[in-house]
Every structure is written in C-alpha cells, then in structure tokens.
Amino acid sequence: MMKITYVAADGGPTEVDARNGDSVMQAALTHDVDGIVGECGGSMMCATCHCYVDEAWIDRVGHRSEDESELLECAASEVRPNSRLSCQIKMSAELDGLIVHLPEAQI
C-alpha cells in the first residue's frame, strides 16, 4: 500500500492508503475524503476531482494533458499551474507519500 495525503482548503490533512494503479480520485472516494466529488466516476468528463499537486511532487506526477486542461476550464475553483484532475493521476511506488491540496469547491 502507498500513502496519499489530501490537504483540505482549510489546511487539515487526511492520509489514506492507496493500491498500485488506483487513481488519486479512487483512493479519495474509497476513504470518503471530503473535497473530491468524482461526479463522472473517473471517466474524465467533469472537473469535480480537481486538485493541486504539491509543488514537491509535480515533477514526479507530471503535467496535465491537453484534455485535462480543457476540462479544468470548467472547474469551480481557481486553476493553477499545478492543477490536475485526480482521476488522471495513477498511484505507483514512485508516488508513495504524494501530497495533493484540495480546492475550496468542486461544484
């Protein structure tokens, strides 16, 4: 198992376990993390799993695709250079300990 820490907009952290290959969104939904809605179930059809990848992790996670950028235009919160759709970040040993920050709103 790998660890992901979700930092709420108010600064409160929630650490959860994730399996190899799970998306950051799947792990959040499995553990009832407030702040990730995942309305489309991870099919990259909405922007309700928007997150901000912690700057220390951005190089390992990589940058968003053009399709992600287009969907993020519909995000309820500010889109930043480190914005990603959490359904598009797949966990691997390289991402063990990942930290993502959650926006103030998803809808």
The ranges assigned to domains in the chain are 2-101
Tokens of 37: 């809605």
Class of the domain covering 2-101: alpha beta
Residue pLDDT, tens place only, 40-93? 999 999 999 999 999 999 999 998 999 999 999 999 999 999 999 999 999 999
Kindly write down the DSSP assignment for every residue of 14-35, as one continuous string: EEEEE-TT-BHHHHHHHTT-TT
pLDDT at 107 over 90: no
Q: What is the pLDDT of residue 71?
A: 95
Please report the pLDDT score of residue 8 as a whole number: 97
Angstrom CA distances, 56 to 4, 53, 59, 61, stand at 13, 8, 8, 10
Indicate if the pLDDT at residue 36 is higher than 90.
yes
Query: CA-CA distance, 64 to 83, in Å (whole number)?
Result: 8
Vertex 104, ends 92 and 32: CA angle to 5°?
Answer: 50
Provide the whole-model pTM.
0.95
Give me the pLDDT at residue 86, please: 98
